[in-house]
């Protein structure tokens, strides 16, 4: 007798960086439910997002996760005008993993944030509840929409409910699990807006700044213009960054994460109560991380580890328990893994690789490097130890509402090389030291090759602007 395909529950947070979970080594944030999920699943300690060609990094990150394609292919306007509609749209020719699951007989149900186009949502999900189209909102006044089978989702039908975003999305997930049909496997996609700013934890989760530490790489100001110093996120705190204010930002961030963790716990309990946990794959991840005072920054528009390194926990039947995997993985690998676990064929154009081989065998063949990009101003590549960030100056950057004065910053042409084994906080730039020249050259060649392989639009821009 063939076993029914597993249910899939995807829980995706907004701005939740890797180190802000208790089981990932942080004793200052309480995440008992995520810690428990990690104990009964696999934690991928090398999980990263790939950056983005848009200041709202969630747009390309989520598109990469959904399609299994790189950020230049999944949702991007290659002209660099990142405020055209095409910057948010997932090309119609690309199949999302919920779309594939739906074609294979799954009920696909979405809740919460959707920061891509309505057409991609409509072809991906058969149903939904408490949907928020857009990037952010106040957590106590979320512009919600009901599911529209026609895919129109008109703004005239936006409505509001009392309650915080995390609680509203949790309740919708619980409603779905209580009312779901037992006839079909389901994919439940819950996209929380926490812990994205405005960071307003409920009273029970509020903390004061004296309960947290400043990060090891705290700086009052970033040491040079990285090409994105005027973005909205960088204006969330004064310059130079006041240490006490940064501590309060971190305390609020941790409070929102603990509140989110409680919602995750309620969803996991509902799965256990209705018996679905025995045949359900649960994924917890995030679109990206962010800075909260690290390197003098306050956002995710950079390629440091605090902004790229994300949590990824996968638990379910027949998967290892309590295992930690150090390999370099990214969003596209997660969607490839879910499709394999569901027994669905892979899109031959997808770039991700199933994570199942490295779950079972830590010595399995795997990629040796991982590369990322931020708009036309920053590129990064790293291996298991060394990391190179390349900054580009005087590249024309699109104007738009993410820059308060509507004027793009110029950027700086420079590089950073870090030895993450001894400097995980990325505080010591090694590029000027001859002893590290071979590592810098090796990574630079690998980055050049990656840019060619993925069709990085920066190459064409630099060709046009080079004298």
pLDDT, tens digit (0-9, with 9 covering 90-100), for 163-190 = 999 999 999 999 999 999 888 999 999 9
- Does the residue 437 lie in any domain? yes
Closest C-alpha among 331, 376, 401, 396 to residue 135? 401
| Average pLDDT value over all residues in the chain | 93
Domain identity same for 259 and 344: yes
DSSP assignment, residue 271? Answer: H
The tens digit of pLDDT for each residue in 440-457 reads 999 999 999 999 999 998
pTM of the predicted protein model: 0.95
- Across 235-245, b (16+ Cβ under 10 Å) vs e yields eebeeebeeee
How far is the C-alpha of 288 from the C-alpha of 94, rounded, in Å? Answer: 22
CATH, residue 108: 3.40.720.10
Band of residue 55 on the pLDDT scale cut at 50, 70, 90: confident
The C-alpha atoms of residue 208 and residue 147 are separated, in whole angstroms, by 39
DSSP string, 204-258: GG---GGGSPPPTTB-SS-SS--S-SSBGGGGSS-SSPPHHHHHHHHHHHHHHHH
Count CA atoms closer than 13 A to 440's CA, side-chain side.
16
* Residue the block writes with tokens 């030895």: 419
**Within a domain: 192:** yes
- Report the candidate in 315, 328, 313, 297 with the shortest Cα–Cα distance to residue 426: 297
Integer Cα distance of 308 and 372 in angstroms = 8
Least confident among 78-87, 199-208, 262-271: 78-87
Helix 243-273 vs helix 32-39: crossing angle, to nearest 10: 60
Which two structure tokens, joined as six digits, stand for 424?
Answer: 């995980």
Looking at the domain assignment, is residue 277 inside a domain? Answer: yes
Of 347, 367, 387, which residue constitutes the final position of a domain? Answer: 367
Instruction: Report the CATH number that the domain containing residue 449 is assigned in CATH.
Output: 3.30.1120.10
Distance of CA 297 to the CA centre of its chain: 18
d(CA 297, CA 236): 10
Phi, psi of 211 (to 5 degrees): -95, 0
- Whether 240 and 389 map to the same domain: the answer is no
pLDDT tens, residue by residue, 230-258? 899 999 999 999 999 999 999 999 999 99
Which contiguous run of DSSP H or E holds residue 280?
strand 280-286
107-114 and 127-133 strand pairing: parallel
- Residue from 232, 236, 262, 259 nearest 249 by CA: 236
**Separation in Å, CA 97 to CA 13, 47, 461:** 18, 19, 32
Q: In this predicted model, what pLDDT tens digit does every residue of 151-164 receive, in sequence order?
A: 999 999 999 999 99
Residue 466 pLDDT: 58
* Domain co-membership, 345 together with 431: no
CA distance 176 to 197: 27
Are 142 and 155 within one domain?
A: yes
Looking at the structure, tell me whether residues 392 and 244 fall in a common domain: no
Q: Is residue 273 within a helix (H) or strand (E), and if so which, with residue range?
A: helix 243-273
Residue 238 maps to a domain: yes
The domain in which residue 252 lies consists of 7-367
Residue 201 belongs to some domain of the structure:
yes
First-residue to last-residue Cα distance in the chain: 68
C-alpha distances out from residue 116 to 66, 102, 321, Å: 10, 19, 34
Whether the Cβ atoms of residue 144 and residue 158 lie closer than 8 Å to each other: yes
Q: What is the pLDDT of residue 323?
A: 97
Is the Cβ–Cβ distance between 142 and 127 less than 8 Å? no
pLDDT value of position 78: 42
Write the pLDDT tens digit of every residue in 375-418.
889 999 999 999 999 999 865 555 554 455 555 556 889 999 99
> Do both 285 and 422 map to the same domain?
no
Q: 432 and 445 share a domain?
A: yes
Domain boundary (332, 367, 402) is at: 367
CA distance 388 to 228: 18
Alpha carbons 212 and 439: distance in angstroms, whole number: 36
Q: Are residues 121 and 172 in the same domain?
A: yes
Find tokens 């920053």 and name the residue: 378
pLDDT band at 1 (very low <50, low <70, confident <90, very high): very low
Q: Is 1 part of a structural domain of the chain? A: no
Report the pLDDT averaged over residues 336-365: 93
Does residue 112 sit within a domain?
A: yes
Q: Is residue 348 domain-shared with residue 375, that is, in the same domain? A: no
> pLDDT band at residue 103, thresholds of 50, 70 and 90?
very high
| DSSP state letters, 332-397 | HHHHHHHHHHTTPPPPTT-----SHHHHH-TTS---S-EEEEETTTEEEEE-SSEEEEEE--S---
Task: Choose between 78 and 121: higher pLDDT.
Answer: 121
pLDDT (tens digit, 9 = 90+) per residue, 286-307? 999 999 999 999 999 999 999 9
Number of domains in the chain: 2
Same domain, 356 and 255: yes
**How far is 79 from 69, CA to CA, in rounded Å?**
19
Q: Which of 322, 346, 367 is the last residue of a domain?
A: 367
Do residues 457 and 321 both lie within one domain?
no
267 with 412, same domain?
Answer: no
Residues of the chain above pLDDT 70, percent? 92
**Sign of the four-CA dihedral 197, 286, 123, 64:** positive
Whether the pLDDT of residue 80 is over 80: the answer is: no
CB hemisphere CA count around 135 (13 angstroms): 18
- For residue 427, being part of any structural domain is answered with yes
Least confident of 75-89, 160-174, 238-252, 322-336: 75-89
């Amino acid at each position: 007798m063939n076993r029914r395909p597993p249910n899939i529950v995807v829980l995706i947070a907004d701005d939740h960086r890797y180190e802000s979970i208790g089981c990932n080594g942080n004793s200052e944030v309480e995440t008992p439910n995520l810690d428990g999920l990690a104990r009964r699943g696999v934690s991928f300690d090398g999980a990263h997002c790939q950056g983005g060609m848009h200041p709202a990094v969630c747009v390309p990150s989520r598109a990469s996760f959904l399609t299994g394609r790189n950020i230049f292919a999944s949702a991007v306007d290659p002209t660099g005008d990142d405020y055209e509609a095409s910057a948010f749209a997932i090309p119609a020719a690309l199949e999302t993993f919920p779309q594939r699951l739906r074609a294979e007989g799954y009920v696909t149900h979405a809740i919460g944030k959707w920061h891509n186009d309505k057409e991609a949502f409509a072809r991906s999900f058969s149903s939904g509840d408490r949907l928020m189209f857009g990037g952010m909102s106040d957590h106590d006044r979320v512009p919600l929409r009901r599911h529209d089978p026609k895919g129109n989702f008109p703004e005239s039908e936006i409505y509001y409910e009392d309650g915080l975003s995390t609680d509203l999305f949790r309740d919708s997930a619980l409603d779905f699990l209580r009312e779901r049909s037992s006839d079909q496997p389901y994919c439940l996609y819950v996209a929380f807006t926490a812990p994205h700013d405005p960071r307003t934890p409920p009273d029970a989760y509020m903390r004061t700044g004296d309960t947290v530490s400043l990060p090891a790489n705290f700086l009052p100001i970033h040491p040079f213009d990285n090409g994105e110093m005027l973005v909205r996120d960088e204006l969330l705190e004064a310059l130079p960054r006041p240490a006490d204010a940064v501590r309060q930002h971190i305390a609020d961030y941790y409070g929102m994460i603990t509140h989110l963790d409680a919602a995750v716990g309620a969803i996991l309990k509902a799965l256990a109560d209705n018996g679905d946990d025995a045949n359900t794959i649960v994924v917890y991840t995030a679109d990206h991380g962010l800075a909260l005072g690290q390197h003098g920054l306050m956002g995710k528009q950079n390629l440091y580890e605090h902004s790229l390194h994300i949590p990824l926990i996968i638990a379910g039947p027949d998967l290892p328990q309590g295992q930690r995997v150090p390999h370099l993985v990214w969003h596209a690998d997660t969607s490839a893994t879910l499709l394999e676990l569901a027994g669905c064929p892979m899109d031959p154009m997808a770039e991700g690789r199933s994570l199942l081989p490295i779950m079972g065998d830590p010595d399995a063949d795997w990629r040796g490097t991982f590369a990322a990009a931020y708009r036309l101003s920053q590129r990064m590549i790293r291996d298991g130890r060394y990391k190179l960030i390349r900054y580009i100056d005087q590249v024309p950057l699109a104007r738009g509402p993410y820059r308060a004065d509507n004027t793009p910053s110029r950027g700086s042409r420079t590089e950073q090389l870090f030895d993450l084994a001894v400097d995980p906080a990325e505080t010591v730039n090694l590029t000027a030291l001859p002893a590290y020249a071979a590592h810098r050259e090796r990574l630079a060649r690998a980055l050049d090759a990656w840019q060619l392989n993925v069709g990085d639009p920066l190459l064409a821009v630099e060709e046009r602007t080079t004298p």
